[in-house]
């Protein structure tokens, strides 16, 4: 009897202790749910379950996207942050707003600890942003912040999230970034230095032949959408353009129009600032994707001697033609994707033929003197007129003399009154005709569009507009 009484007493004590423990665990769970992020909860319950021989089974999964890992930027974190800027819900009560002096639009993101929910293909999703302060200690060489974004969803939808939703977020963020991107103009001075590219030139404002514009735009569109094609045929995803013609024909404006159309940064490189092939390669790998590398006046910027001579450039420069060719068409040219290289020259005939073949300079564009088509574009841009009684005489004079778009633009800058400006242009063209007596036609004024998929075309620009 004594043993039975002792057993019952022990059982009663154990039951009371169990109930107390259960109450404490319930209270702990409530506090955890209230104050501790979900992914931390899952780790806690997983550890507790491991102690008692079974693992906690959660119906939800949480993906953690840290800002960086060992100083390497996390692509998913960047994409998620950009994506959430455009998806802020009215249910969110706190937002962070920031706008740098050069930004087009303010950056609006959810504040740390705020949650944002949405539905994707019937799946309930929850986003949450975190920022944890870290102190200097033996594990970190400096203090700072650990930023992360978490995405929670039902565990059963894991495959669809990884195969469909995350790629969708990446594509949307890429489109948003391109739409809001502030273009940069980079110049080399020992290292790349940048400033905002705020050039207003567009294909609509260029005083170029309309057929040439159309061909160029189609070529650019075809280039940017053929990522898989370039990979399939084993070619680096890059394209080279040569702009040649007299000064003042709009080569720089065309480059700016290309950058504005594609939303690509520009890297302006002077070969005279380089001293070796190694330095050229180092600069190449430091440029970003979706960019235009510009090498202006290549015929006179550096004396690249013939490869067979084994010579070098000006002074003590060790930049060779062979090294330069490897830069634009060899193994080093594949260091990066979706890149365009633009060369300009006033004298195409001075270039080494090895530079001109497809794969190096794929598209050749002759920037010629102004024709009636270009004149009408300039008149619309500067004077806001599309027709005038002086147009026929001006167009006739343009067929008889050679003037650049820059010269015509300068005449238009002299007056805001269309009548005065056009009369001044007529007088200018008459003077040019007298000074340049003997210019009885536009023979030889042509553009050349070459590419790997288009046969060489030689077209008189006077017949195109």
Higher local confidence (pLDDT), 58 or 119:
119
| Burial tier of 370 (Cβ tally within 10 Å: 0-12, 13-18, 19+) | buried
Alpha helices in 306-452 (DSSP H): 321-329, 353-356, 372-383, 391-398, 405-412, 418-435
Same domain, 230 and 114: no
Residue 73 CA to residue 276 CA, distance in Å, equals 31
Same domain, 353 and 389: no
Q: Give a yes or no: residue 440 inside a domain.
A: no
Encode pLDDT of 252-311 as tens digits. 999 999 999 999 999 998 887 787 888 888 888 778 888 999 998 887 655 554 444 444
Identify the bridge partners of residue 131 per DSSP, sorted by sequence position: 147
User: Which of 131, 151, 182 lies at the terminal end of a domain, its last residue?
Assistant: 182
Q: Give a yes or no: residue 301 inside a domain.
A: yes
> Which residue has 């809001």 as its token pair?
180
Give the chain's length: 465
Same domain, 341 and 402: no
Same domain, 108 and 162: yes
Residue 299 and residue 314 in contact, taking contact as beta carbons nearer than 8 Å = no
CA angle 72, 78, 84 (to 5 degrees): 160
315: tokens are 């002074």
- Domain residue limits at 75: 60-182
Percent of the chain at pLDDT > 70 equals: 67
Residue 70 and residue 161 in contact, taking contact as beta carbons nearer than 8 Å = no
| Phi, psi dihedral angles at 133 (to 5 degrees) | -75, 135
Spatial neighbors of 150 by CB under 8 A, at least 6 apart, are: 37, 38, 39, 62, 63, 64, 65, 127, 128, 129, 130
Same domain, 338 and 387: no
| Residue 201: CATH number of its domain | 3.40.50.300
Q: Give a yes or no: residue 299 inside a domain.
A: yes
Q: Give a yes or no: residue 85 inside a domain.
A: yes
Count of structural domains within the chain: 3
Higher local confidence (pLDDT), 105 or 228:
228
Same domain, 157 and 240: no
Whole-model pTM? 0.62
The predicted model gives 315-337 an average pLDDT of: 68
- 128: pLDDT confidence band, cut at 50, 70 and 90? confident
Q: Give a yes or no: residue 41 inside a domain.
A: no
User: Which of 132, 166, 182 lies at the terminal end of a domain, its last residue?
Assistant: 182
Spatial neighbors of 66 by CB under 8 A, at least 6 apart, are: 74, 77, 146, 147, 148
Same domain, 76 and 131: yes
Same domain, 297 and 418: no
């Amino acid at each position: 009897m004594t043993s039975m009484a002792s057993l019952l007493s022990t059982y009663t004590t154990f039951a009371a202790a169990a109930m107390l423990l259960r109450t404490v665990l319930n209270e702990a769970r409530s506090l955890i749910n209230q104050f501790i992020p979900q992914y931390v909860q899952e780790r806690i319950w997983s550890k507790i379950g491991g102690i008692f021989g079974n693992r906690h089974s959660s119906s939800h999964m949480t993906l953690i996207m840290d800002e960086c890992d060992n100083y390497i930027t996390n692509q998913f974190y960047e994409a998620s942050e950009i994506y959430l800027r455009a998806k802020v819900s009215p249910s969110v009560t706190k937002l962070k707003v920031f706008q740098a002096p050069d930004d087009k639009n303010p950056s609006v993101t959810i504040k740390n600890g705020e949650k944002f929910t949405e539905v994707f293909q019937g799946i309930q999703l929850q986003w949450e942003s975190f920022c944890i302060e870290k102190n200097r200690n033996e594990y970190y060489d400096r203090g700072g912040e650990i930023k992360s974004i978490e995405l929670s969803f039902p565990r059963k939808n894991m495959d669809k999230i990884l195969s469909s939703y995350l790629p969708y977020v990446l594509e949307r963020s890429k489109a948003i970034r391109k739409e809001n991107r502030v273009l940069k103009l980079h110049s080399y001075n020992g290292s790349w230095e940048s400033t905002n590219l705020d050039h207003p030139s567009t294909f609509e404002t260029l005083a170029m032949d309309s057929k040439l514009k159309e061909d160029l735009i189609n070529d650019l569109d075809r280039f940017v959408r053929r990522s898989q094609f370039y990979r399939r045929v084993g070619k680096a995803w890059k394209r080279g353009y040569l702009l040649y013609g007299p000064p003042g024909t709009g080569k720089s404006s065309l480059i700016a129009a290309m950058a504005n159309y594609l939303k690509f940064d520009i890297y302006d490189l002077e070969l005279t600032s380089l001293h070796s092939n190694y330095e050229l390669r180092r600069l190449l790998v430091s440029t970003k994707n979706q960019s235009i590398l510009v090498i202006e006046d290549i015929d006179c910027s550096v004396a690249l001697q013939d490869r067979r001579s084994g010579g070098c450039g000006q002074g003590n420069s060790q930049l060779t033609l062979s090294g330069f060719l490897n830069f634009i068409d060899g193994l080093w040219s594949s260091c990066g994707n979706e890149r365009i290289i633009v060369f300009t020259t006033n004298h195409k005939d001075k270039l080494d033929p090895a530079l001109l073949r497809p794969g190096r300079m794929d598209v050749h564009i002759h920037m010629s003197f102004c024709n009636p088509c270009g004149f009408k574009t300039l008149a619309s841009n500067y004077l806001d007129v599309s027709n005038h009684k002086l147009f026929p005489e001006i167009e006739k004079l343009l067929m008889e003399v050679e003037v650049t778009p820059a010269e015509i633009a300068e005449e238009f800058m002299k007056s805001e009154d269309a009548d005065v400006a056009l009369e001044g242009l007529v007088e200018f063209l008459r003077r040019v005709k007298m000074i340049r007596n003997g210019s009885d036609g536009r023979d030889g004024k042509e553009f050349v569009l070459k590419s790997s998929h288009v046969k060489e075309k030689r077209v008189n620009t006077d017949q195109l507009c």
